Amino acid sequence: MMWRWQHWMVVLLVTVAAVSGNNYEGLAGHQIWSLESELAVELVDQLQAQGLLDVVAHTERTRTVRVTPEFASLVQKELHGAGHNYSVKVEDLAKHLQEKEKDEKTRQIHRAESCTATSCPFPLTYSYMTFQQMEWYLKELAKNPWVEVRSIGRSILDRDIWMVHIKSGECKGRKELYPNRCRRRASSKPMAVWLEGGIHAREWISPAVTLQLIHQITKDCCVTQDLDVYVVPMANPDGYVYSWTTDRFWRKNRRSNSGSTCDGVDLNRNWDYHFGVGASDEPCSQVYKGTKAFSEPETQALRDAMLQVASKGNLKLMIAFHSYGQVLMYPWGWTADKAPDQQDMVRLGKSFVMKAKSNYGTHYRVINAANDFYFASGSTDDWSKGVLKTKYVYTLELRDEGGHGFDLPATKILPNSMEVLAGLKAVFRKIISKKRTTNTVVL
Ligand code: 0X9
Ligand code: ZN
C-alpha cells in the first residue's frame, strides 16, 4: 500500500462525509505519526502486536500509525530509545475532523437513492449502508425464489450473520430477462464458490462491494447456471456497527476480553490453521488472535457454514474481501512455503486481474500473502486452503492503493464493484469451463 501522509488529510475529510454520527469523538487526542525509516518498521510492528499503536498504512519501508494519548509518551520513548524519528502529521484527530466537518458537509453530493424505513430494494451505490439497511436489503432479496438468505449464527452481541445462497440451476423465473443467452448447463454436480465480506469492521468497501456482487449475480442467471454462489456480506456485524457509532477505525469484533480493558478479537487471526503465527496474544492489539482458535462466535458460524458447503464436495473457490491495496493474495499467509496449487492460483488470479482492469484501468497485483505482504496466520484463506483443501483461495484487498485507505469515498462503490464483478465472472467462467472439459460436455 503506497501511502503519503497527505493522504491522511483526504482520509479525514472523507471520514466526516461518510459519517453523520459522532464516531470520531473517541479519537480525541489521537495523533497520526509518520515513520519513514526502514529500520523502524520492525519495532513499529512489535509495538502494534503489544497494542501500543495502530498501523493505519504501510509500505515496505514506511509506517503511518495512530497513537492514543494513553500510550503516546511510551511509544515516543521506545522509538527515540531505538534512535528512530517520526513526524506528527495530525495533532488531534477528533479536533481535525470536527473542524473539517462543516466544509465537507456542504460538499456532499446527494443522490436520489435511499432505503425506506423498513425496506431497501437495492444496495446503495452512493453511500455506505448501515447494518440495518443491509438487513432490509437482504429481506427484500430473500423474496427471489432462487435466493436463500439464512442466518448462519449470531455475533458476540447477538446480531445475525447472514449468508446468501444464489442457487445454481436453470434461469427459472428469470429466463425471460435473458432469453437464449446462457450456455448449456454441464450435466453433473454444480460447483460452489464462497465469498466473505466485512470480517474487518473498518474496511467498509468490502461489504459494500460484496452486496453489489450479490445484487448483480442474482440478476444474471447465466452466472449461476453451473454454480452455487454463497456469500456472507457482513461477517463482523458488531464491529461494523461500532465503526459507525463510535470508532471509524475499529477493526476487530466486539468481544469484551476478560482481564483486559481492551475489547475485540481480530477475526482474521482466529481461524484454526497454524493458529498464533504472526498474530498477537495481547488483547489491546489490533491483531489480537483471541484466547484460542475459533474462540469467537463469528468465526465459528463461518467455519460451520463453510464446512457444510464443502461437505457437498464441490467447493472450488473462496475469496475473502478486504481493503485496501488492490492486491489479490494467494496462501499461505502463515509460512513462506509454497501452498498446493500455487501455480493454478496465480494463473486464475491473473485472469481476474486482466478483466478487472478492463473497465476503469484499475490495476490489481497477484501476490503471495506471506512473502509479498506480511506473515499472518489464523485467516480465512489459510484455513480454507489448509483444512477444506479448496483449490482456489484468495484474499482480495479492494481499492485503493492508499490515497483514501479505509475511508474510500462512497462514489467508488460502483466502479470498484463493477470491475470486481468483471474479474469474478472471468474466474467463474474459467472454473466452469474447466469442469465442462473434464466432464466432456458438448456445448
Ligand atoms: O492482515 C489481514 O488480515 C489482511 N490484510 S488487512 O489489511 N485487510 O487486514 C491480509 C490477510 C492475508 N492472508 C493471510 N495472511 N493469511
Ligand atoms: Zn482486512
The enclosing domain of 344 has a CATH number of 3.40.630.10
Residues 82 and 137 in one domain: no
pTM: 0.86
Distance (Å, rounded) from C-alpha 272 to C-alpha 293? 5
Q: Is 9 a domain residue?
A: no
384 lines ligand 1 (CB under 6 A): no
**Closest protein CA for atom 16 of ligand 1:** 333
Q: Is 385 a domain residue?
A: yes
Residues 126 and 163 in one domain: yes
* One-letter identity of residue 119: S
Contact (CB, 8 A) for 329 and 381: yes
Mutate to test the pocket of ligand 1, among 395, 398, 400, 401 (most ligand atoms within 8 A of CB): 395
- Report CA(298)–ligand 2 centroid distance (Å): 15
Residues 180 and 252 in one domain: yes
Residues 240 and 187 in one domain: yes
Among residues 185, 226, 197, the alpha carbon closest in space to that of 138 is found at 197
Ligand 1 atom nearest the C-alpha of 332 is 16
Q: For residue 164, list its beta bridge partners.
A: 149, 231
Q: Is 1 a domain residue?
A: no
- Give the cell for residue 138: 437482504
Q: What is the CATH number of the domain that holds 77?
A: 3.30.70.340
Residues 416 and 352 in one domain: yes
pLDDT at 264: 98
Q: Is 203 a domain residue?
A: yes
Among residues 8, 48, 37, the alpha carbon closest in space to that of 374 is found at 48
Residues 39 and 169 in one domain: no
- Report CA(359)–ligand 1 centroid distance (Å): 26
pLDDT at 27: 84
pLDDT at 320: 99
268 lines ligand 1 (CB under 6 A): yes
DSSP codes, 362-400: ---EEEEHHHHT----S-HHHHHHHTS--SEEEEEE-S-
Residues 201 and 348 in one domain: yes
The domain containing residue 221 runs over which residues?
Answer: 113-438
Helix (H) or strand (E) holding 365, with range, is strand 365-368
- Report CA(142)–ligand 2 centroid distance (Å): 28
Q: Give the strand pairing for 365-368 and 327-330.
A: parallel
Q: Give the strand pairing for 31-35 and 87-90.
A: antiparallel
Distance (Å, rounded) from C-alpha 154 to C-alpha 283? 22
Per-residue CA distances from 310 to 147, 148, 303, 304 (Å) = 19, 17, 10, 10
- Report CA(322)–ligand 2 centroid distance (Å): 4
pLDDT at 40: 87
329 lines ligand 1 (CB under 6 A): yes
Q: Is 98 a domain residue?
A: no
Residues 77 and 208 in one domain: no
- Report CA(186)–ligand 1 centroid distance (Å): 35
Cell 486481474 found at: 353
322 lines ligand 1 (CB under 6 A): yes
- Give the cell for residue 430: 474459467
Active-site residue list: 397
pLDDT at 221: 82
Q: Is 76 a domain residue?
A: yes
376 lines ligand 1 (CB under 6 A): yes
If phi > 0 it is left, if psi is from -120 to 50 it is alpha, else beta; for residue 181 that is alpha
Mutate to test the pocket of ligand 1, among 59, 373, 377 (most ligand atoms within 8 A of CB): 373
Residues 43 and 133 in one domain: no
Structurally, the chain folds into a number of domains equal to 2
Handedness of CA 380, 385, 391, 397 (dihedral sign): positive
Residues 153 and 117 in one domain: yes
In the chain, which stretches have pLDDT less than 70? 1-22, 59-60, 97, 100-112, 170-181, 183-187, 435-443
Residues 71 and 172 in one domain: no
Q: Can you state the percent helix, strand and coil of the chain, rounding each to 5?
A: 40, 15, 45
Question: Does a cis peptide bond (omega within 30 degrees of 0) precede residue 332?
Answer: yes
Nearest 5°: the CA angle 333, 287, 30 is 135
Mutate to test the pocket of ligand 1, among 268, 270, 334 (most ligand atoms within 8 A of CB): 268
Distance (Å, rounded) from C-alpha 430 to C-alpha 428? 5
Residues 424 and 394 in one domain: yes
